[in-house]
Amino acid sequence: MRILGKMIEYGLLGIVLYTPFTFSLPNPRAQTIVHLATLILFLLWLLKLNGEKTSYLAKTPLYLPLLLFLILGSISVVRTNFFYYSTQEFFRITSAFLLFFLVANNSKEENKFILPLILAANIVAFIGIQNYFRHSFSVAVSTLPNHNLLAGYLVISISLALGLFLFNKGNLQKRLPFLFLIILPLICLILAKSRGGLLSLMAALFVLILAALNRKKRWIL
């Protein structure tokens, strides 16, 4: 069971690092590989769960809203006039749900998957800033297909890094590096010129402020 646990752990790390770069790869099946890998890891986790004497699910209030969202998505697929495209999007949403489920139940250390995601986002942001200055100061795009998707990805990274800075245990000196990891994504987010991304950042900051004021409700993060 320990071997399965390590396989799942390294597989999740690979997905976290690989996913933001799949859109820029010449292979059109790069994203399909991510979805397939997620499904395989989920099956391995079920196998691991079946072999353990004491098994439990991580407690999080996000299971119910995510499950409801998945149910609504399945209903929309049945009722849509564009079945092929809706099915594709539904599989992507399902893959994201399984990925969240795996991370929530296979991460004993909260920074194990968050830090690689933030570091990958900094690489994506650096590429985006370079592209912005190379392409006549239009909009930053980076490895993602458009500036809105890039902005959404960067907002996640900024929110997580700021959350680690605010809520991680330790003195200011130990938490300060998390603040520096916000700089490149924030610059790239501004250069992406996505109004939706900026509004999302404002909403995320509002939630972080609420969580900081009431630290007992850190599950909001």
Both tokens of 74, joined, read 């399945």
- Label residue 83 exposed, middle or buried (CB < 10 Å: 0-12, 13-18, 19+): exposed
pLDDT band for position 85 (cuts 50, 70, 90): confident
Q: How far apart are CA 33 and CA 41, in angstroms?
A: 12
Residue 219 pLDDT class (50, 70, 90 cuts): very low
Q: What domain count does the chain have?
A: 1
Q: In this structure, is residue 191 part of a structural domain?
A: yes
Whole-number pLDDT of residue 220: 46
How large is the average pLDDT for residues 14-21? Answer: 86
Spatial distance between the Cα atoms of 69 and 64, rounded to a whole number of angstroms: 9
Domain span at residue 191?
109-221
User: Is the whole-model pTM more than 0.85?
Assistant: no
Residue 103 lies in a domain: no
For residue 198, count other CB atoms closer than 10 A to its CB.
Answer: 15
pLDDT at site 119: 92
Cα–Cα distance measured from residue 105 to residue 110, given in angstroms and rounded to the nearest whole number: 11
Report, as an integer, the average pLDDT of 16-27: 77
Q: Which amino acid is at 145?
A: P
